[in-house]
Structure 1
């Protein structure tokens, strides 16, 4: 059986987890736009306040910072800072052919930690809560990366 095939449950697990994370990151762009339209503000560029069908009554105040829009931008930035590492580390980890159950716990555990991190961030939970959820995902990445390195060195 080809290791990089969706017929391989290990690779399919990675593909599911990676796809969910990519969709989540892309959704943040859409959520940013939705928030901007909802509050009619939080725009970033001067040309954003030109009169258009979507902005029939432009106002320079629309360029002012808006916390509701900025919160989603910060969540999106956090994804952009973290998800590439997951995509690379998860892929390389799967190449080490770990036990399926362990890979599922790690890969899906990362997805759950990121979704919970999003929920905590979007509902303005404490930094301690967000940091705890981020740490779970980060430790999963560290484990997968170290396991991959040891496998590449022939140690594990």
Structure 2
């Protein structure tokens, strides 16, 4: 019969020290995560502002707030902002999850912090060239794939670091 230990786990041995404010890599992650979450929240506000400015309301109950009688779904300005916001959700959320897992493996601190910064700035630039000031391709594609490849690198790194445990 196995005995259950009531002893507190050694945080250093368990790897939990990586996810504390004592770890500059984790602090860098917290900072850039906060910035990206705020950016995503602002996209909701920007969508609402575009809807109000163009009188493009998708729900009948919203029409009571304005003088228009028609539900509209096809305003190009509203749709552009919505697509940029959706792109954020499809790319930032996996990045944030993968980055946290990546930190738990104890990566090189300098490389990890550089990757976080590049990915976050890339997503901010992506929004600027997609939702605010459309720029011809390949600008948007470069910013998209920068974050994509950073997320993929982290996933590959974690897979290689943990393959012996499967």
TM range (shorter): 0.7 to 0.9
- Where does residue 79 of structure 2 map in the other structure? 70
Alignment size in residue pairs: 149
Length-normalised TM-score, structure 2 = 0.83
- Where does residue 31 of structure 1 map in the other structure? 46
Larger-Rg structure: 2
Moved over 6 A (4+): none
1:48 equivalenced with 2:62 (yes/no): yes
User: Contact 1:13/1:107 (CA < 8 Å) preserved in 2?
Assistant: yes
Runs of 5+ consecutive residues of structure 1 not aligned to the other structure: none
- Where does residue 150 of structure 1 map in the other structure? 160
Q: Shift of residue 61 of structure 1?
A: 4.2
Deviations 1:34-73 (A, max 9, x none): 222222x1211111101x3xx3xx2124625221111111
- Where does residue 4 of structure 2 map in the other structure? none
Q: CA RMSD in A?
A: 1.7
CA distance in 2, matches of 1:64, 1:37: 13
Q: Shift of residue 130 of structure 1?
A: 0.8
Please give the secondary structure, in 2, of the residue aligned with 1:153: helix
Length-normalised TM-score, structure 1 = 0.88
User: Contact 1:114/1:133 (CA < 8 Å) preserved in 2?
Assistant: yes
